[in-house]
Structure 1
Amino acid sequence: MAPGRKGRIIRRTITITLAVALSLAMEIGGYLATPEPDRPELSYSTLHALVPLVFAACAGVAWHIGPARTPARLMIAFVVLWIPQSVYLIIGEWEWVWPIVRGVDLAWAVIAGILVLVYPKGRLSDRFDRTIAAIAVVSFLVNLVVVVLFAGPEANPCDCAPNAYRIGEAPVLFAAVDTGYRVIGGALALVIAGRLLVRWMRASVPARTVAFLMPVALLAWATTLAAQAVNYATAADDGVLATVSLVAIASIPVSFDAGIAHARNMRARVADLMRITREGADRGLWAESLARTLRDDSVRVYWWDEAKGRYADASGAPMTDVAADGRNGPGLLPVSSPLGTPIALIRHDRVLTDNMRLLDGVSSALRLSVDNGRLRSEIERTLEQVRQSRQRIVEAGVEARRRIERDLHDGAQQHLVSLGMRLRLAANAARDAGEADLAEELEQTIAMLNQALRELRELAHGIHPSLLSSGGLALAVPELAGRCPVPVDVEVQAEGRLPEIIESTAYFVLAESLANVAKHSAATRAWVRAHVVDGELVLEVRDNGVGGASVDAGSGMLGIVDRVDAVDGDVHVTSAPGAGTTIVIRIPVAEAGE
């Protein structure tokens, strides 16, 4: 944990702890100071004490997940200003203290109202919110001044000491301001609740999901607060309303944190959007996934058409002009590349503009999706170019082998055959002339020439077997197996002639495999099978040797893999120790022949 963050956590924990301690001290001290016959029911006192604890707990959560520090600070202020009436039994003798406490003991209502106004952004966002907050603060200050300057001991439920700040008696003014302050507070709460509820009912689905609990909690509290103000003015008492009011008040910070957590969850769902589109999903799927992620069916994604210089949707329909400046109009989120090139324009519900972190995540997801799609296309195009290049190299190699084999057969080999015939005639003539020594030397020369001719023929055959050119795998593979020192059973079922590059690759792969069998397997028998299945040439080389072979074992196996990769084939080796080796090679025939 970073030192700065650790320090903040410690400071916040200390702040919350001190606020809770002060609140509990006032609650418990006031309860114990109240004469037993006058004490309220224990259940009500407990519920009254739990309200600030709920605010304190929610303050800790809001500090962690909130968009700003203001909501958490307001919640802590509420805890400190949640002053029970019984506390005057403790501070009543302090003539310099109780008037100030009496003046601020309803400040918690102002705090609660402002907390609702800053939801969910963490700040006052428009003129209406600022006006309501200003009226509440001014009313609080007027009440504070009147209470401090004119309140007497009779204003509290205790035998308090005289007000040290009192400048005169004005019972009518004090009563009017005291009652008016409560009535104004109740009216403001009703206005805030009504406005929030109407806005929520008229809002789109995204707006409702962001503010789904707060209207209900605020309306319940405002209703009970207004009823209590009326009861206070008429000196009536209703314990049920008081209890309902406590529950409603406690639900305000819970609703605040729940809404913020929901907004954070929406941002977390952007990760799912990035997972869905990480490979560059098509445009239609991207727009559908975005609408589902934001839970906003009104979402539209328009992509920049560089050729036409305009935005168009996935079907190519151009974007119509959208008035985004209106109060209820949609919001527009332009997305550009790091170089500033336009990518797309997202039209969304305007309420999402309040959650810029969410929109930033959406922008990043779309930008990443486009980049991934572009990179994927480039990689696929590059791989296709590499594949075609390798195939051209293989084909050029096959052609070069055939040309060398033809040149050897038609050139050097024919000259050596002619030279052998002439040496045979010379040897016969020397023998007829009685030159036995010369005839013997010529015979030795003819034997050396025949050996050189055989080696030349084998060399030409290794470069490109003539049987492969004339008869394909059906003739070349049995001849190849016949030259292997290990007995080989051959089964070739290739239907007709295959593309030249496929036949050449298959032949030399089989030649290398049989050479490995002869050199390394210690086998007594081998099997070779070649057949075409579903557009693939399947080669299988199996032996009963010692096993233990692998693709990485030796240059022979690597050569086989390289040859097969060049024609988009694959190699699978099964070679358990002591159980022989089986090599299965699959080469696509149709694609290679195109």
Structure 2
Amino acid sequence: MAPGRKGRIARRTAVIVAVVALSLWMEIAGFQATPVEDRPEVSYTTLHAIVPLVFAACAGVAWRISPTRVPPRLMVAFVVLWIPQSIYYVIGGIDWLWPIVRGVDLWWAVIAGILVMVYPKGYLGDRFDRWIAGIALVASLVNLLGVVLLAGPQDVGCDCVSPNPYQVADAPALFSLIDNGYRVVGGALALVIAARLLVRWVRASVPARTVAFLMPLALFVWAVTLAAQVVTYATASTADTVLATVSLIAMASIPVSFDAGVAHARNMRARVADLMRITREGADRGLWAESLARTLRDASVRVYWWDEERGRYADAAGTPIEPADANPRGSHSILPVASPLGAPIALIRHDRVLTDNMRLLDGVSSALRLSVDNGRLRSEIERTLEQVRQSRQRIVEAGVEARRRIERDLHDGAQQHLVSLGMRLRLAANTARDTDEVQLATELEGTITMLNMALRELRELAHGIHPSLLSSGGLALAVPELAGRCPVPVEVDVQAEGRLPELIESTAYFVLAEALANVAKHSGASRAWVRAHVVDDELQLVVRDNGAGGASLEAGTGMLGIGDRVDAVGGTLELESPPGAGTTLTMRIPLGAPLEP
């Protein structure tokens, strides 16, 4: 945790502890100072003391999750201003203090009303809210001045206070008008706020109701609380205990509703991560719009994608955006999404209430950009891999053609010259023998023997470069001949139906040659098996031995060479080689037509 953050947490904790201590002191000291016959029920006093504690606890939560610092500060101010009526028994002898306390003893209601109006954005969002808050604050200041300048000891509700040193006139009628008028204005404002919020909630869309799902109830009971206070005060009657208890519970529900709603909005932002999981392979347009509507809980969401070719926005089905959707009015708004370089990506048409949660919309924009980038990168990678695969296949084909050309050149060129030279040497040797040139005939016979050896080695070399049996008879002839040259006895089972594509046959022949070479060199086997079958449009090659096992695809250049050859033609390679149980190498090569270079 950063040092600066630790300092902020410490300061906020100290403030909350201080205001809680002040509130509890006022509650306990006032209760103890009140005469026994005037004291309220202990249960009511306890509940009355719990209300500011709830506000203080919610302030600590709001400081962490609220979008601004206004709500937690309002909650802390509420704790300070939640002044019990019994506090006058404690401060009544302080003549300069009690008039001020009497003038602000209903400011908690103003704080609660403003807290309701700043939900969930954390600030007063429109002119109407600002007018309501302004009227409430002006009325509160007028009432404070009226109390300080006109109130007397008789206006406190007990005979426990000293004369008001600020009083400028004894005008009980004027004071009563100001005092009652303040409460009437407060009750009217509460009803206006409650009615406005409830009507908006009833008419709102599903996202709007989801964001404000608790506050209407809290506001309703808050309005009931103020109404009960106004009626009780105006009639000079004693409030019903049940109504007073319900009012306290209602008041405590306001900060809880605020924090719960803000936490819900934060959870909506957390669900944006689900969009990334759903669309991590790229932005499938239909799926993306459906997932976005589910995440935002807004069935009216529409996503219009930028069509670079036509220069317009269109939905997943290709339908262009309507002018009314591009410039929405009323209950909907448009969120443009662009790349980091400013290139347009999409327009998201959503419920206007979601603009109160810009962090959520920012998260949606980022998710869409990342999803589009993932799709673009995936397409580019797949295209690059396909180009690499085609390139490797062309290289393999070029190698096959080069081997055929070398084998043909050796057969038609050097090999024919050597055969012709051998025939001439044979004629010369016969002539020398006929003319009794024994020594010359002997030397020519030795030269002929050396020439035949060289010719045989040349044939074997040409056969290794590109076996003639493979060209003439395919795998059915070439594989048994290949297995016959292996020093380990090999049982061959070849059932290739007809001739296969030349590239497939060449690849299969040389991977089998490499695999048999590995058997001979490394396995220590006494027997091996080779199987070549065509199954479901693919050539399956299996080389198995009864050797020591323990082979690995990463060990040795032989296995790597086999893997490269098979991969170049789009095949797969599997190896099973448990120690002491032999080795089975399985290769599957698709028989699709080879790509043209």
TM-score w.r.t. the length of structure 2 is 0.97
Matches within 5 A, 1:52-451: 52-158=52-158, 159-237=160-238, 238-322=240-324, 328-451=330-453
Superimposed CA distance per residue, residues 237-270 of structure 1 (whole angstroms, 9 cap, x where no aligned partner)? 2222211111111111111111111111111111
Where in structure 1 are there 5+ consecutive unaligned residues?
Answer: none
Query: In the aligned structure 2, how far is the partner of 1:5 from the partner of 1:327?
Result: 42
User: Amino acid of the residue matched to residue 504 of structure 2?
Assistant: I
Aligned-partner Cα distance in 1 for 2:571–2:306: 40
* Residue equivalent to 1:34: 34
2:9 is aligned to 9
What code does the residue aligned with 1:126 have? D
**Once the 2 structures are TM-superposed, how far is the Cα of residue 592 of structure 1 from its aligned partner?**
3.8
Give the drift of 1:87: 1.0
Partners of 1:325 and 1:13 in 2: CA distance? 47
Cα contact 2:100–2:144 (8 A) shared by 1 = yes
Post-superposition offset of 1:223: 2.1
Question: Match of 2:481?
Answer: 479
Counterpart CA distance in 1 for 2:203 and 2:122 is 22
CA contact (8 A) 1:324 1:330 kept: no
CA separation in 1, counterparts of 2:265 and 2:583?
A: 60
**Counterpart amino acid of 2:37?**
P
Call closer, same or farther: CA 1:236–1:169 in 2, change over 3 Å.
same
TM-score, L = length of structure 1:
0.98
After TM superposition, give the deviation of residue 430 of structure 1 in Å. Answer: 2.1
Deviations 1:192-214 (A, max 9, x none): 01100000000000000000110
1:591–1:119 CA distance, 2 compared to 1 (3 A)? farther
The Cα offsets for residues 105-135 of structure 1, whole Å up to 9 and x where unpaired, read as 1110000000011111111111110110011
Query: What is the aligned partner in structure 2 of residue 575 from structure 1?
Result: 577
Q: CA deviation at 1:329?
A: 3.7
Aligned residue type for 1:115: L
For 1:348 and 1:92, the matched residues in 2 are separated by 58
CA displacement at 1:327 relative to structure 2: 6.3
SS in 2 for 1:590: coil
Q: 2:528 aligns with which of 523, 526, 529?
A: 526
What amino acid sits opposite 1:253 in the alignment?
P
Q: Give the Cα separation in 2 of the matches to 1:410 and 1:165.
A: 127
Deviations along 1:367-424, one digit per CA (max 9) or x if unpaired, are: 1111111111111111111111111111111111111111111111111122222222
- For 1:374 and 1:325, how far apart are their aligned partners in 2? 29
**How far 1:451 moved relative to its partner?**
1.1
* Larger displacement relative to structure 2 (424-433 or 509-518): 424-433
8 A contact 2:390–2:595 mirrored in 1: no
Match of residue 584, structure 1, among 567, 572, 586 = 586
1:222 to partner: Cα distance: 0.2
Identity of aligned residues (%): 78
SS at match of 2:197: helix
Distance in 2 (CA, whole Å) between partners of 1:326 and 1:554 is 67
Superposed displacement of residue 324, structure 1? 7.4
In structure 2, C-alpha distance between the alignment counterparts of 1:135 and 1:192, rounded to whole Å: 12
AA paired with 1:137? Answer: L
**Change over 3 Å in CA distance of 1:400–1:10 after alignment to 2:** same
Q: CA deviation at 1:591?
A: 5.3
8 Å CA contact 1:183–1:230 kept in 2: the answer is no
Match of residue 510 from structure 1: 512
The one-letter amino acid paired with 2:254 is I
* SS of aligned partner of 1:568: coil
**What secondary structure is seen at the aligned counterpart in 2 of 1:572?**
strand
Specify the code of the residue in structure 2 equivalent to 1:141.
Answer: L
Moved more, 51-60 or 336-345: 336-345
Secondary structure at the aligned position of 2:174 is classed as: helix
Aligned to 1:542: 544
CA distance in 2, matches of 1:22, 1:8: 21
CA distance, structure 1, for counterparts of residue 561 and residue 505 of structure 2:
16
Q: Secondary structure at the match of 1:547?
A: coil
Distance in 2 of aligned mates of 1:525 and 1:322: 79
Distance in 1, matches of 2:173 and 2:329, equals 45
Distance 1:324 1:9, change over 3 A: farther
Rounded to whole Å, the distance in 2 between the matches of 1:323 and 1:475 is 71
**In structure 2, C-alpha distance between the alignment counterparts of 1:491 and 1:554, rounded to whole Å:** 27
User: Are the aligned partners of 1:120 and 1:260 in contact in 2 as well (CA < 8 Å)?
Assistant: yes
Q: Which amino acid aligns with 1:452?
A: A
Amino acid at match of 2:206: V
* Contact 1:19/1:76, CA 8 A, preserved across alignment: yes
CA contact (8 A) 2:501 2:593 kept: no
Change (3 A) 1:380 1:327: closer
Hey, what's the Cα distance between the residues in 1 that align with 2:155 and 2:464? 116
Q: Which moved more, 1:438-447 or 1:501-510?
A: 438-447
- What's the offset of the Cα at 1:156? 2.1
Equivalenced residues, count: 594
What is the Cα deviation at residue 593 of structure 1? 7.2
Any conservation in 2 of the 1:86–1:157 contact (CA below 8 Å)? no
Cα RMSD (Å) of the superposition? 1.4
2:19 alignment counterpart: 19
**AA aligned opposite 2:536:** D
**What is the alpha-carbon distance in structure 1 between the residues aligned to residue 142 and residue 459 of structure 2?**
116
Q: Equivalents in 1 of 2:300, 2:133: separation in Å?
A: 33
Paired residue type of 2:77: A
Paired amino acid for 1:191 = V
Which of 171-180 and 191-200 deviates more?
A: 171-180
The runs of 5 or more residues in structure 2 that have no matched partner are: none
Contact 1:228/1:241, CA 8 A, preserved across alignment: no
User: Helix, strand or coil for the counterpart of 1:108?
Assistant: helix
Amino acid at match of 1:173: L
Q: CA deviation at 1:323?
A: 6.6
- Other structure's SS at 2:499 match: coil
Quote the offset at 1:436 in angstroms.
2.4
Code of the residue aligned with 1:73 in structure 2: it is R
Other structure's SS at 2:303 match = strand
Secondary structure of 1:163 counterpart: coil
Letter of the 1:393 partner, please give it. Answer: I
Q: Distance in 2 between matches of 1:493 and 1:29?
A: 102
Measured against aligned partners, the alpha-carbon deviations of 1:495-544 in whole angstroms (never above 9, x if no partner) come to 11111111100100000111111111111111111111122211111111
Letter in 1 for 2:215: M
Describe the shift of the 1:128–1:326 C-alpha distance in structure 2 as closer, same or farther (beyond 3 A). Answer: farther
Amino acid at match of 2:508: A
CA distance in 2, matches of 1:236, 1:569: 93
> What CA distance in whole angstroms lies between the structure 2 residues aligned with 1:404 and 1:328?
79
**Residue 527 of structure 1 aligns to a residue in which SS?**
strand
Separation (CA, whole Å) in 2 of partners of 1:564 and 1:120 = 62
Distance 2:577 2:442 in 1: 54
Give, as a single letter, the amino acid of the residue that structure 1 aligns with 2:138: V
Letter in 2 for 1:217: A
Match of 1:559 among 561, 573, 576: 561
